[in-house]
């Protein structure tokens, strides 16, 4: 839990520095102790006084100021920190940190701390996309720093593009996530399927669907954050798998079935977020099909229903969670799938609603349990929804284990 944790908030000199005030305020509201370190440039955007009032703690801006702590200040802060958050992180501070330059209070403290570091890059799109900046970001990530990826949108420099600091609420939620009970699912194996499947037509073409994998990847991350052993079975997706999960990448529904069945026997919770193609092409062409006729007929065979099979094989202490993506009769179809596939829970989402379903960052879902309880969530970020799903699945498992 984040309560009483010491968060060192590094504020650097970008226009988004004003948003750091709200970040500090929100962190304090959720019970964290916030210690702000500002770069000189940041003080041109927001005053030290603002942060002092908001956090109730002294604000550090220089190596040579009045001493608030008789231990060497940068070392004291570096040691005190349970987590360091740099928001906004300019290209300059990212470059310095990636190269071990320590020429002010913030960068010196960064070099001295062993605490986990989160950084939220915010800058002009060209600066962000510059290969030098990208390399620096990658270097920090490879060293274990956590990037809070910038949003796209209207930037202060008058253009639209990537580089906006995410909303303070989203940043604070990410930090809260870091402190969730990271042991609550220790010892449990969670199997997650994600993204759509590709069913080949010939060596260069396939039948697929619009699933990006965002929901399933978020579920895998939420289970990982709670200490579970996570296996992520994924169809093609552009997403980076969360660190620490075992990824099995494949393409077709039949391959997904084989992978899932092999992992199933010792799995405690299965969450099947994948959009599995219901049909596959009967005679996959060995060579690229050339266009010659006016009409091309593909014969499709029904794919195995993986989830249904899992439902049939389910042992008393296994929890099975399915998804139902519908464009009409949401509740009716979802209830039907819950029964037919012998599930413990189904996440029903109306993919016809704007902001819900495929390829969006948000989703609008109702979670239905076997005892017909319905939990209706508001439009939420997929990461938050993933947490609710994982927590509910864990509770279901506990109920089952209690008998």
Q: How far is the CB of 231 from ligand CTP (least distance, A)?
A: 15
Q: Tell me how far apart the alpha carbons of residues 274 and 269 are, in angstroms, rounded to a whole number.
A: 15
Q: In the set 36, 250, 253, 281, which binds ligand CTP (CB under 6 A)?
A: 253
Contact at 8 Å (CB) between 200 and 194?
no
Tokens of 115: 């605490």
Residue ranges of alpha helices (H) inside 272-349 are 306-313, 330-340
Q: Tell me how far apart the alpha carbons of residues 181 and 2 are, in angstroms, rounded to a whole number.
A: 10
3-state SS string over 345-373?
EEEEEECCCCCCCCCCCEECEEEEECCCC
Q: How far is the CB of 175 from ligand CTP (least distance, A)?
A: 31
Q: Contact between 83 and ligand CTP (CB under 6 A)?
A: no
Q: In the set 325, 330, 389, 392, which binds ligand CTP (CB under 6 A)?
A: 325
Q: Which is nearer to ligand CTP, 150 or 322 (CB)?
A: 322
Q: Which is nearer to ligand CTP, 44 or 329 (CB)?
A: 329
Q: DSSP character for 42?
A: G
Q: Contact between 216 and ligand CTP (CB under 6 A)?
A: no
Q: Which is nearer to ligand CTP, 46 or 325 (CB)?
A: 325
Q: How far is the CB of 296 from ligand CTP (least distance, A)?
A: 24
Q: Contact between 174 and ligand CTP (CB under 6 A)?
A: no
Q: Tell me how far apart the alpha carbons of residues 107 and 119 are, in angstroms, rounded to a whole number.
A: 13
Q: Contact between 274 and ligand CTP (CB under 6 A)?
A: yes
CB count in 10 Å sphere of residue 186: 11
Q: Contact between 278 and ligand CTP (CB under 6 A)?
A: yes
Residue 163, by phi and psi: left (phi above 0), alpha (psi -120 to 50) or beta? left
Q: Contact between 214 and ligand CTP (CB under 6 A)?
A: no
Q: Contact between 322 and ligand CTP (CB under 6 A)?
A: yes
Q: Contact between 250 and ligand CTP (CB under 6 A)?
A: no
Q: How far is the CB of 253 from ligand CTP (least distance, A)?
A: 5
Residues 334-373 within binding reach of ligand CTP (CB under 6 A): 337
Tokens of 32: 């964290």
Q: In the set 306, 345, 365, 397, which binds ligand CTP (CB under 6 A)?
A: 306
Q: Tell me how far apart the alpha carbons of residues 145 and 122 are, in angstroms, rounded to a whole number.
A: 16
Q: Contact between 307 and ligand CTP (CB under 6 A)?
A: yes
Place of tokens 């979670």: 367
- β-partners of residue 86 are 10, 119
Q: Which are the catalytic amino acids?
A: 157
Site residues, ligand CTP (CB under 6 A): 193, 253, 272, 274, 276, 278, 303, 305-307, 322-325, 337
């Amino acid at each position: 839990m984040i309560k009483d944790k010491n968060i060192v908030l590094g504020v650097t000199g970008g226009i988004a520095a004003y948003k750091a005030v709200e970040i500090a305020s929100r962190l304090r509201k959720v019970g964290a102790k916030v210690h702000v370190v500002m770069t000189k440039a940041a003080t041109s955007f927001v005053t030290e006084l603002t942060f002092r009032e908001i956090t109730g703690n002294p604000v550090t801006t220089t190596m040579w100021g009045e001493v608030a702590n008789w231990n060497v200040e940068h070392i004291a802060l570096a040691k005190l920190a349970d987590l360091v958050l740099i928001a906004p992180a300019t290209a300059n501070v990212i470059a310095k940190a990636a190269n071990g330059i320590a020429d002010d209070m913030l960068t010196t403290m960064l070099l001295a701390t062993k605490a986990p570091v989160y950084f939220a890059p915010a800058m002009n799109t060209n600066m962000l996309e510059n290969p030098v900046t990208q390399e620096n970001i990658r270097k920090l990530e490879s060293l274990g720093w956590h990037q809070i990826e910038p949003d796209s949108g209207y930037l202060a420099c008058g253009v639209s593009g990537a580089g906006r600091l995410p909303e303070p609420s989203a940043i604070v939620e990410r930090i809260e996530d870091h402190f969730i009970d990271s042991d609550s699912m220790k010892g449990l194996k969670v199997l997650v399927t994600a993204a759509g499947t590709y069913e080949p037509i010939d060596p260069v073409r396939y039948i697929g669907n619009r699933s990006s994998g965002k929901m399933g990847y978020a579920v895998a991350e939420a289970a990982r954050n709670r200490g579970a052993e996570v296996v992520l079975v994924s169809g093609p997706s552009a997403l980076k798998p969360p660190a620490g999960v075992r990824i099995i990448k494949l393409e077709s529904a039949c391959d997904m079935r084989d992978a899932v069945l092999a992992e199933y026997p010792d799995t405690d919770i299965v969450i099947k977020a994948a959009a599995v193609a219901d049909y596959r092409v009967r005679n996959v062409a060995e060579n690229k099909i050339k266009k010659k006729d006016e009409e091309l007929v593909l014969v499709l065979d029904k794919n195995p229903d993986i989830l249904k099979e899992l439902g049939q094989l389910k042992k008393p202490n296994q929890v099975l969670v399915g998804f139902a993506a519908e464009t009409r009769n949401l509740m009716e179809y979802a209830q039907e799938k819950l029964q037919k596939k012998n599930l413990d829970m189904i996440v029903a989402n109306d993919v016809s609603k704007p902001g819900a379903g495929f390829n969006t960052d948000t989703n609008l879902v109702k979670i239905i349990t076997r005892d017909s309880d319905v939990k209706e969530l508001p439009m939420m970020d997929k990461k938050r929804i993933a947490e609710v799903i994982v927590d509910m699945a864990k509770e279901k498992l506990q109920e089952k284990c209690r008998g």
